[in-house]
């Protein structure tokens, strides 16, 4: 049997210690090289695109000669308004991409010696950036696309005494927090997950996201019946076999395996509103599982500097939570 990719030398092209040893000046240089790659690291104005930029001698800011806009190396990126040194941000990206099953915010907070809240938001900013690189449609031209759903969250602890326990499979005994991740995964291609309440609510979105002309593979669940009207759909009955040689949803299951391990082993709990972010992260990891960590680091850093300031994560802990009045 051939060697697993992650054991091979090709999988290791990033040295965490090299990133950690960078001085702040070196880290800024590395960051500018990624951010302004098209001008070989020479800053230009993020507002008007003017290349005539003045660097202050006393502070680490730039001023555009054209529109007088002042900016820093992280202005306009997902790391805008940062307080952490640039080196720590690069280190966070390097640590983040190394975790095949994700990296928990608590662990990141200890790695970087920052508060849990800081690490939580930082990891989510990286997640948002890499998710924006994902696809919005899969399939087409006879491409095989596997579809399946799996449930996450809403765990109910069984009562201590047996006579107090309820059948947790019944809807009336659940807490309504459970969500379904439905995945559309091209064989040898891209993975596209989304969240809904139940598997059978997923069909309209699947019709939207899976291009006509795809060959769809799904399991025996009744909710997938409407797919036959639109796609050449092949089903596999999991009560009989996981694969009949052609029809299987093993690629979709493989994605679920990764996100399940991330939930149970890494994060321990994924709250419903954030499930989509974790699903997107895991699809990125799944699609790039044969990419070296050095490349992953550059891909994530690139996505982060190209991604505008996050509406959801900027000032997250200072936000005003507007709760709808209970009626
Ligand atoms: Zn300008």
CATH code (residue 257): 3.30.420
Same domain flag for 13 and 90: yes
Same domain flag for 170 and 206: yes
What band does 154 get if pLDDT is binned at 50, 70 and 90? Answer: confident
Question: Which SS3 state, helix, strand or coil, does residue 159 take?
Answer: coil
Tokens of 204: 């309209």
Number of domains the chain contains: 2
CA of residue 61 to ligand 1 center, whole Å: 13
Q: Does any domain span residue 245?
A: yes
Q: Which of 92, 93, 104 is nearest to 264 (CA)?
A: 104
114-146 in b/e burial notation, b at 16+ Cβ within 10 A? beeebbbbbbbbbbbbbbebbeeebbeeebbbb
CA of residue 47 to ligand 1 center, whole Å: 5
Alpha-carbon span 205 to 192, nearest angstrom: 11
Find the mean pLDDT for residues 188-198.
93
Write the pLDDT tens digit of every residue in 75-98.
989 998 888 999 999 999 999 999
Has residue 282 got a pLDDT over 90?
Answer: yes
Which of 113, 131, 149 is the C-terminal boundary of a domain? Answer: 131
CA of residue 63 to ligand 1 center, whole Å: 8
Same domain flag for 127 and 142: no
Same domain flag for 142 and 282: yes
CA angle 247, 139, 5 (to 5 degrees): 75
User: What protein residues have CB closer than 5 angstroms to ion ligand 1?
Assistant: 45, 47-48, 50, 64, 66-67, 69
CA of residue 169 to ligand 1 center, whole Å: 59
Q: Does any domain span residue 36?
A: yes
Question: Residue 10 sits in which domain range?
Answer: 5-131
Write the pLDDT tens digit of every residue in 201-252.
999 999 999 999 999 999 999 899 999 999 999 999 998 989 888 889 999 9
CA of residue 133 to ligand 1 center, whole Å: 27
Find the mean pLDDT for residues 168-179.
87
Q: What percentage of the chain carries pLDDT values higher than 70? A: 98
What is the pLDDT at residue 327? 43
Same domain flag for 36 and 177: no
CA of residue 71 to ligand 1 center, whole Å: 9
**What residues contact 160, with CB distance under 8 A and at least 6 apart?**
none
Q: Does any domain span residue 326?
A: no
């Amino acid at each position: 049997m051939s060697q697993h990719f992650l054991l091979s030398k090709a999988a290791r092209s990033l040295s965490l210690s090299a990133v950690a040893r960078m001085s702040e000046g070196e880290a800024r240089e590395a960051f500018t090289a990624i951010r302004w790659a098209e001008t070989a690291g020479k800053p230009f104005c993020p507002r008007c695109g003017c290349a005539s930029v003045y660097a202050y001698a006393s502070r680490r800011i730039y001023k555009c000669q054209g529109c007088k806009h002042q900016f820093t190396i992280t202005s306009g990126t997902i790391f805008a308004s940062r307080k952490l040194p640039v080196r720590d941000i690069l280190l966070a990206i390097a640590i983040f991409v190394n975790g095949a099953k994700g990296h928990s915010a608590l662990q990141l907070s200890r790695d970087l010696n920052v508060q849990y809240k800081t690490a939580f938001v930082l990891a989510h900013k990286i997640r948002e950036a890499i998710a924006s690189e994902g696809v919005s449609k899969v399939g087409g031209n006879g491409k095989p696309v596997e579809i399946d759903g799996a449930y996450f969250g809403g765990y109910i602890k069984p009562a201590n005494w047996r006579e107090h326990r309820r059948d947790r499979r019944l809807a009336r005994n659940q807490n309504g927090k459970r969500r379904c991740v439905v995945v559309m995964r091209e064989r040898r291609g891209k993975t596209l997950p989304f969240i809904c309440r139940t598997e059978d609510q997923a069909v309209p979105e699947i019709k939207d996201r899976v291009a006509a002309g795809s060959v769809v593979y799904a399991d025996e669940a009744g909710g997938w019946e409407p797919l036959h009207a639109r796609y050449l759909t092949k089903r596999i009955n999991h009560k009989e076999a996981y694969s009949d040689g052609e029809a299987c949803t093993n690629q979709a299951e493989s994605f679920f395996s990764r996100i399940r391990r991330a939930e149970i082993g890494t994060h321990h709990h994924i709250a419903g509103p954030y499930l989509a972010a974790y699903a997107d992260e895991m699809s990125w990891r799944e699609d790039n599982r044969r990419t070296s960590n050095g490349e992953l680091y550059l891909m994530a850093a690139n996505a982060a500097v190209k991604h505008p300031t996050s509406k959801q994560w900027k000032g997250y802990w200072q936000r005003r939570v507007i709760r709808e009045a209970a009626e």
